[in-house]
């Protein structure tokens, strides 16, 4: 993976991690219930689930990319369509209230880690998202395993930072986002990020190198 492709993926990783989803909700709930220090158990579990998702995609996509330009194009445009769909859904998402999870305060650290793992591992939409995004940054003419290792390390590092932010600042952020109007603005900002990511992916060629 070339340096400029990694930088592009690094930027995409921030968009992916910052976009609201099950992991962000789990992190905010943990932050409200047990604070940042214990909330790291949940963050660790989320990363284990993320690694599982990347492994699933890596096991099934490498051979397709290496041997079929048509398959790459299909995956690319399905990915663009999926990102647009997520953007539309985020734009139309109704305001909702995130409350503290009173049971989380009674969970042990390992139990919180398992819960975080299950949040990501049991989310099939996240695997589809990975399938849409990751191939765009791979060079099928180079060894795929080192590229996936770089991708996994980059995504997990970024996600730890983002989930730490969601966890540590949950209470303060939620106080500023309780009104329906403020939540609608937030939803539309993230919808714009999805639309921007779709436009970016549509411009990337097969080799991405």
Highest-confidence range of 28-32, 68-72, 99-103, by mean pLDDT?
28-32
On whether the pTM is more than 0.85, the answer is no
* pLDDT (average), residues 148-161: 92
Question: Distance (Å, rounded) from C-alpha 81 to C-alpha 69?
Answer: 18
Q: What is the pLDDT of residues 56-67, one digit of tens each?
A: 888 876 556 556
Cβ–Cβ contacts within 10 Å for residue 173, how many? 15
Cβ–Cβ contacts within 10 Å for residue 149, how many? 13
What is the share, in percent, of the chain residues with pLDDT greater than 90?
11
Question: Distance (Å, rounded) from C-alpha 2 to C-alpha 14?
Answer: 19
N residues, the chain:
209
157 versus 34: which is more confidently predicted? 157
CB 110 within 8 A of CB 42: no
Alpha helices in the chain (DSSP H): 3-18, 22-67, 69-92, 109-121, 124-133, 144-168, 170-176, 180-202
Question: Distance (Å, rounded) from C-alpha 63 to C-alpha 76?
Answer: 16
* pLDDT (average), residues 26-40: 78
* pLDDT (average), residues 117-124: 75
Please identify which residue in the block is written with the tokens 């890596």.
58
Closest CA to 168 of 31, 61, 73: 31
Please provide the distance, in angstroms rounded to a whole number, between the alpha carbons at the two ends of the chain. 7
Q: Is residue 44 scored above 90 in pLDDT?
A: yes
Question: Distance (Å, rounded) from C-alpha 60 to C-alpha 81?
Answer: 20
Q: What tokens appear for 153 in the block?
A: 């390390």
Determine the 3-state secondary structure of 101 from DSSP: coil
Residue 205: per-residue pLDDT:
61
Inter-CA distances, 123 with 49, 159, 169, Å: 9, 16, 25
Q: What tokens appear for 27 in the block?
A: 């992190």
Residue 208: per-residue pLDDT:
43
Question: Distance (Å, rounded) from C-alpha 30 to C-alpha 46?
Answer: 12
């Amino acid at each position: 993976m070339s340096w400029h492709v990694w930088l592009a993926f690094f930027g995409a990783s921030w968009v992916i991690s910052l976009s609201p989803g099950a992991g962000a909700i789990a992190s905010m709930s943990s932050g409200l219930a047990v604070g940042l220090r214990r909330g790291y158990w949940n963050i660790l579990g989320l990363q284990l689930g993320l690694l599982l998702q990347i492994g699933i995609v890596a096991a099934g996509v490498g051979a397709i990319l290496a041997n079929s330009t048509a398959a790459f194009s299909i995956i690319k445009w399905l990915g663009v369509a999926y990102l647009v769909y997520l953007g539309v859904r985020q734009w139309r998402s109704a305001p909702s209230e995130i409350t503290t999870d009173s049971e989380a305060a009674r969970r042990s650290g390992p139990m919180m880690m398992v819960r975080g793992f299950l949040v990501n591992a049991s989310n099939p939409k996240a695997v589809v998202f990975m399938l849409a995004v990751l191939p765009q940054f791979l060079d099928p003419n180079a060894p795929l395993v080192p590229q996936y290792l770089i991708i996994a390390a980059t995504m997990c590092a970024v996600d730890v930072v983002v989930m730490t932010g969601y966890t540590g600042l949950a209470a303060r952020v939620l106080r500023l986002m309780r009104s329906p109007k403020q939540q609608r603005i937030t939803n539309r900002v993230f919808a714009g990020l999805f639309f921007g990511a779709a436009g970016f992916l549509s411009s990337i060629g097969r080799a991405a190198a």
